[in-house]
Amino acid sequence: MSEFAILGTLRRRALYAFLLVGVLVLALAAAAKYAIPMEGIPWPDVGDMNTGWYYEEEGELNPVGQLPCQVEHTGDKLYLVHDLDGVALGAGDVLAVQTRYQSIRVWADGTLVYESAQGQEYALSSMWHFIPAEFVQGADSLRLELTKYDSASEWNLFPVLQDHPAAVAAYLLADHLPAILMWIYCMVLTLLLAVILLFLWVRKIPGGSLVLALAAFIFLSGTWILLDSKVTTVMGGNYAMTYFLSYSAFYLLPIPLLFYFQLMLEERNRFLQALTWITMGNAGLWMLLHLLSVVSIRDTVVTVHGIILVFLADFIVELPKWREERRKNRLTYTFWGILLVFAAAAVSIGLYYAGLLPPTNSAVLYAWGLLALILCMIMDTVAMFGRVWKERRHMEIYRQLATEDSMTGLSNRNAYELRLRELVYHPPGELGMVLFDIDRMKFINDTYGHHMGDLVIALVGRCIRKVFGSSGECYRIGGDEFCVIYTGQMDMSAKCDRLDQLLERENHYDFPVKVSCGWELRDLKGEASITFQDILALKTAADEMLYRQKKAHGGRP
């Protein structure tokens, strides 16, 4: 493309960009000039029943402070009572009760109106229970029975909301907005990586395993954070599915991370491989044992915490190697991301077992470290692909130098030999070969010089490409010898006549340039493979025709 054409393209692009920006600026200016303030739908102040509660202790009612709060009560069951006199319950309202206990029962006066998870160990973390106001309409009192998992845990009471279902849903979704946004972020990145993976697969570019490991890690990260928030239960559904999928995502999360590190380090680390198998076996074993009612899944989370801490210990031991990799620019950003996520994980685990991190929000601190690690891994992955792409370009240059004839731009003898070997293993239905030889080439070199001979060879190569390039593969296989490999029927006489006409038209030298050619076509249908001797026989037949034509042209070299 000429310099003026390039400038024209750049000017057009600049003009398009200028027009787009101009339209946006005009739109903003008009909006500012004709501003029309308006009030949107007001954000609801969600009603609640966070006061007026009492709990039963040895037959007496003791007041509960403002919810949320903690109650000093012995025993595995806690009964909460609320007087409904003076409580305005709309006909369409709903009571939203959050718990992290084994079960909950609700009575309106003496009538049982709601119960959930009786005796079933589903609700380790936060779980919302929605009770329509019509179930308690007209009752004098509301009574809740909460059952703990074990007597060692404390009675942590959460807010009780009371409002229209839409207002409660909006409030809960807004309250869990960080988890929702984190999930959306992870899913968008996963989709983007899936597109990149498809591109690599189509273009046969290495690095797909690395992208797949990164995509799996990001997908599991977002899934776990969303499910752990239990926001998916706001609209109802199977809570047990949310519960167990949350555990599955958390238990499997270290696996793609372990694969990613090994791929980035480009080595087979036996310890990390063993840890990967242990992580997979750990997830499967505990899920199976919980299904068989042998152990509660909530009691097995310590094993995943242990795996994470073992991973952290290995990282500390291998710190010099990680630093070396960082100096090699392979894990420059991931190095710091690992430090951040391990620090967040270690602090989260410590606070979790110390009881200082609310179990209903245990993923928040780790999520920030996870977000930093994902960003760092993406930056390193992009940098790695930049190196791969640069190496690929270098390899393409080397391949071009090895298989392309610099004088004519046609494929060279190396490419020709490789193509013949491919044909042995993958023969087409019909295989043809055309051979060319420039007439009087020695005379041209001796009379006009080898430089002029090179120009003639380049001219013939260009003309062969123009005539045969669309229907065959063109090669320069010797000094003034050329070959075209083609499949299917072709009117060779017409093609060779066209070549002679093109040479005559494009020859601007003081002497004629003529080319002799010979060809042969073989039907290979029904043959799964052919031998190299079959191809040589095809070339020999084309050679014989070439030399007959050359003899007819005067027989001069």
Residues 340 and 196 in one domain: yes
Which one of 130, 163, 196 terminates a domain? 163
Residues 183 and 74 in one domain: no
Q: Report if residue 34 sits inside a domain.
A: no
Close Cβ partners of 358 (under 8 Å, ≥ 6 residues apart): 156
pLDDT per position as a tens digit, 49-95 = 999 999 998 888 999 988 988 888 888 889 999 998 888 888 889 99
More confident residue, 326 or 261: 261
Residues 204 and 318 in one domain: yes
CA dist 525 and 528 (Å) reads 8
Number of domains in the chain: 3
Mean pLDDT, to the nearest integer, of 320-348?
67
User: Which pLDDT does position 72 carry in this prediction?
Assistant: 86
Smallest CA-to-CA distance from 275 within 322, 246, 247, 312 is with 312
Residues 345 and 474 in one domain: no
Residues 383 and 493 in one domain: no
Residues 421 and 531 in one domain: yes
Mean pLDDT, to the nearest integer, of 233-256?
83
pLDDT band at 331 (very low <50, low <70, confident <90, very high): low
| Mean pLDDT for the chain overall | 81
Residues 428 and 526 in one domain: yes
CA dist 136 and 119 (Å) reads 24
Domain containing 124 equals 53-163
User: Which pLDDT does position 557 carry in this prediction?
Assistant: 52
Burial 270-293 (b: 16+ CB within 10 A, else e): eebeebbebbeebbeebbeebeee
pLDDT band at 319 (very low <50, low <70, confident <90, very high): low
Residues 301 and 185 in one domain: yes
pLDDT per position as a tens digit, 137-155 = 889 999 999 888 776 777 8
Residues 297 and 425 in one domain: no
Mean pLDDT, to the nearest integer, of 430-434?
90
Q: Report if residue 17 sits inside a domain.
A: no
CA dist 221 and 219 (Å) reads 5
3-state secondary structure 427-471: CCCEEEEEEEEECCHHHHHHHHCHHHHHHHHHHHHHHHHHHHCCC
pLDDT per position as a tens digit, 381-431 = 777 676 666 666 666 666 666 778 888 889 888 888 888 888 888 888 888
Which one of 344, 364, 396 terminates a domain? 396
Close Cβ partners of 100 (under 8 Å, ≥ 6 residues apart): 123, 124, 125, 126, 127, 156, 158, 359, 360
pLDDT per position as a tens digit, 448-467 = 999 999 999 999 999 999 99
pTM of the model: 0.60
Q: Is residue 68 reached through a cis peptide bond, with omega within 30 degrees of 0 on the bond before it?
A: yes
Helix (H, G, I), strand (E, B) or coil at 123: coil
Q: Report if residue 271 sits inside a domain.
A: yes
Q: What percent of the chain has pLDDT over 90?
A: 16
User: Which pLDDT does position 82 carry in this prediction?
Assistant: 92
Close Cβ partners of 146 (under 8 Å, ≥ 6 residues apart): 77, 78, 79, 80, 99, 101, 103, 104, 155
Residue 259 CB: number of other CB atoms within 10 A?
20
Mean pLDDT, to the nearest integer, of 483-503?
89
User: Which pLDDT does position 459 carry in this prediction?
Assistant: 93
Helix (H, G, I), strand (E, B) or coil at 484: strand
Q: Report if residue 138 sits inside a domain.
A: yes
Which one of 337, 363, 396 terminates a domain? 396
Q: Report if residue 23 sits inside a domain.
A: no
Helix (H, G, I), strand (E, B) or coil at 164: coil
Domain at 130, CATH number: 2.60.120
Residues 71 and 208 in one domain: no
pLDDT band at 17 (very low <50, low <70, confident <90, very high): confident
More confident residue, 151 or 190: 190
Q: Report if residue 18 sits inside a domain.
A: no
CA dist 123 and 62 (Å) reads 27
Q: How far is CA 11 from the centre of its chain?
A: 36
pLDDT per position as a tens digit, 94-109 = 998 888 776 788 999 9
Residues 68 and 185 in one domain: no
Q: Report if residue 11 sits inside a domain.
A: no
Mean pLDDT, to the nearest integer, of 10-22?
77
User: Which pLDDT does position 435 carry in this prediction?
Assistant: 93
